[in-house]
Amino acid sequence: MSQSPSQTNMNVAWKVKQSEIEEFVKKGLKSTESTVAYLTSPHASGKSTTLISHIMKMILQYAPDDPSPRFIYVLPREVEKNLAREYLEDVIFQLEQQDTLSKDFCLSTYDEFFDVTSKPDWKWPKRVTIVADVELRSSVEGEIFFGLLAGMVHKKREPILSVLLMSPHRSQRTVTAFQKVVDRVQDITVPEVTPSLNIKYIDELDTKEVVRKINNVLGQDERARVVILSSKYDLKNIPSEKTSRINTADQLLDKIDDLARPILAVNLEVGTSARVNNLRLVVLHGSSDAVIFDKWAGHLARCKREVSKHEIAQGISWALKANTSEPVEVLVCMSSNKYNKLQIVEDPWSPAWNADMPRLILRIFSVWKDERLWRLPTRTPQDEFAFAETLQRLLPMGLVEQGKGGVNTFATTERGKAVLEIIKSLKSVQELDVHSAYLLAVARSGSESDNVSRVMIRMAFISAVGVANFCALNNQEVDGNLTISEAIREQCAGVGRENSWKGGLWAALGVYLKGQQDGVFRPDVAQVLQRGCLTVNSMMGYKISSLAAQFEDYVGKAAPVNEVHETELSDEEVAAVERHLMWAWLHRVLCFRCYPKTVFDVSSCREVQIYEDELMETETIMENSEVQQTGGFFAIYNALEVENKGGKILKPSDLTFIPRLHYRDVAKRTGMNWPSPILVVYPLAP
């Protein structure tokens, strides 16, 4: 389908600076030292299509005899790479379908570039032209890639690199990183193009208007498509069977052409845009729920955040890229007054320095181990305090250790590398954090019995999907002869039944084992089951079972014949699991104090509010004589939310009891009495 004239003109908007771009590329083909330029060009201005095609043709024309590879175009992720390839294969016959970094022209993702070029047998030619997209909100892979690229430029030896960085925004962090390694980063700026779009601003809470617009668009044209960009896209009166939910960028590849589902509900945190056939409406929320390093909590916590002006522009770019001749309407759920007051932040909030920061630090010190902090080639941290705090948390967990280069040098341990490998290998089927991956790394190591390993594998995947997402207390009245704790126990089996009073991962494991025993976790079973006092998501149960089977196959462990029997544990083995749970969630621990009766986060010393539907039986534990004697008990938490209603409140969830005696091991490993090793040193906001 043809594009509108305005879209066609935008697709070559970069030509305003064609002479500067060509001059830079030609200079790089003959230069005796590496050169770097930063192209700032609006969304949908042809950067990844017509410009790349033009540069390829230039290199063929001006450097026909150079050895391969002569040109590499690096994009953030597979989805952007595939979308760019679709266009380029139509116009450049030399670009092969199965392109690799050994070809004359190739496309690569940030991660692929690192994986291939870091191999010992990789050989670079004398001269390479690299064009790299700079993502708006940096990812772990992006931070590693740009650090690697800056390091290559800095080495002052072959290959001689001609690096063209480009994005709709000007990332000062990226510019600064390359200014440290070259004399000058050339600035090339394409003026903003004002497209003729129908953009309407409405109140964020006006869901009725959003629903009315969507139904109106779909009612007028059965071929029409709608994109909703929000972390809150559960809109009433929108048929779920017509909606594809997209929570990761990779899911776009599978669902963007699903014509049976005309609504693409894309989580704002995906952070990309794509070309959609027959797009008629884009709905963009002005705020998002995201996991950030909260300066008040001193922890990674789910909070509401306001999106930046550049993120609004990225959302609008879905309309600019639309493959349609019909007008596209954009509905921004934010008042125009509020939008006009938004500041332009060139390097806005990003996952790498928030939810993914533990993984980022493990990657940094696996790539640049024993390197002094001030010599790291990576871009500067968005929050140096948060970086230092997270690093200090990974040290006692045994995922990072002091480096061999002395003070301020670090290296990722073998267990830390195992955590990284597991997160990467399972990314396509389940997102993991370092906590759940830690349990899987221990299970894979073979340091524990098969039964202990099976328990930790299942706990890891229960943690990954979320205890509350899998099973939660319902509103049904409990049999008058039973306490809540006893009623939960009735819905458990195996080792989880014996330890269900500890709540969280133990109770959920028991619910899972009973569901497996009863055969209720199947794809054809109703998604939500009422089992006594609990509501159980059978699809989540099936997912946990499938993930456990896949992982056991991946690490070469035999599948259990009788899952309940082959996860039974002795008292010593239960204690072993508890110790690993303690280490995995070392900094995410609550103290329940008997006198005065309070609950607080141990690391930050802030009081917390506990959800009433937690599976851990707090009162039962409090009545224990040993707990009374010691004055309280500890429990780890899997999730944390910061709620702001007239004042901030910390709300941890998925609580699991950990016996106090295990925390003596922390002093043995760190040489510091508990809880000193985990106290927050980050300067907490008032």
CB count, 10 Å around CB of 138? Answer: 27
Q: Which pLDDT does position 92 carry in this prediction? A: 61
Model confidence at 98, in pLDDT bands (50, 70, 90)?
A: very low
- Distance from C-alpha of 460 to C-alpha of 548, rounded to nearest angstrom: 9
What is the token pair recorded at 262?
A: 């005309």
Sign of the C-alpha dihedral computed for residues 594, 597, 599 and 605 taken in this order: negative
Q: What b/e readout covers 609-646, taking b as 16+ CB neighbours within 10 angstroms?
A: ebeeebbbbbebbeeeeebeeeebbbbbbbbbbbeeee
User: Binning pLDDT at 50, 70 and 90, where does residue 560 land?
Assistant: very high
β 299-306/287-294 pair status:
antiparallel
DSSP letters along 500-554, please? GGG-HHHHHHHHHHHHHHHT---TTS-SEEEETTEEEEHHHHHHHHHHHHHHHHH
Rounded distance, CA 110 to CA 130, Å? Answer: 12
Strand partners, 303: 290
Is the pLDDT confidence value at 209 over 80? yes
User: What pLDDT is stored for residue 144 in this prediction?
Assistant: 97
CB contact at 8 A, 172 and 347: yes
**Alpha helices (H) along 432-483:** 434-445, 450-465, 467-470
Q: Rounded to whole angstroms, how far apart are CA atoms 279 and 509?
A: 44
As a whole number, the mean pLDDT across the chain is 90
- CA–CA separation, 396 vs 416, rounded Å? 12
Write out the H or E segment, with its range, that includes residue 79.
helix 78-91
97 burial (CB, 10 Å; 0-12 / 13-18 / 19+) is exposed
- 77 CA to centre of own chain: 13
pLDDT in tens, 127-177: 899 999 999 999 999 999 999 999 999 887 778 999 999 999 999 999 999
239 vs 68, residue with greater confidence: 239
The mean pLDDT value for 216-244 works out to 82
Domains and CATH numbers, the chain: 5-189 (3.40.50.300), 198-351 (3.40.50.300), 356-409 (no CATH), 419-581 (no CATH), 586-678 (no CATH)
pLDDT of residue 57: 84
**What pLDDT score does 6 carry?**
45
Specify the DSSP class assigned to residue 15: G
Output the CA torsion sign for 584, 586, 587, 591: positive
Helix 52-62 × helix 78-91 angle, to 10°: 60
In a 13 Å sphere around the CA of 675, the CA atoms on its Cβ side amount to 21
Tens-digit pLDDT profile for residues 319-373: 998 878 788 999 999 988 999 888 888 888 899 999 999 999 999 999 999 999 9
- Backbone phi, then psi, for 473, in 5-degree steps? -65, 140
Q: Please give the distance of CA 440 from its chain centroid, rounded to a whole number.
A: 19
Please give the Cα distance from 343 to 633 (Å, whole number). Answer: 45
For residue 8, what pLDDT is reported? 47
pLDDT at 466 over 80: yes
Q: What is the pTM of this model?
A: 0.93
Q: Which residue has the higher pLDDT, 101 or 55?
A: 55
Are 637 and 434 in contact by the 8 Å Cβ rule? The answer is: no
Q: Is the pLDDT of residue 428 over 70?
A: yes
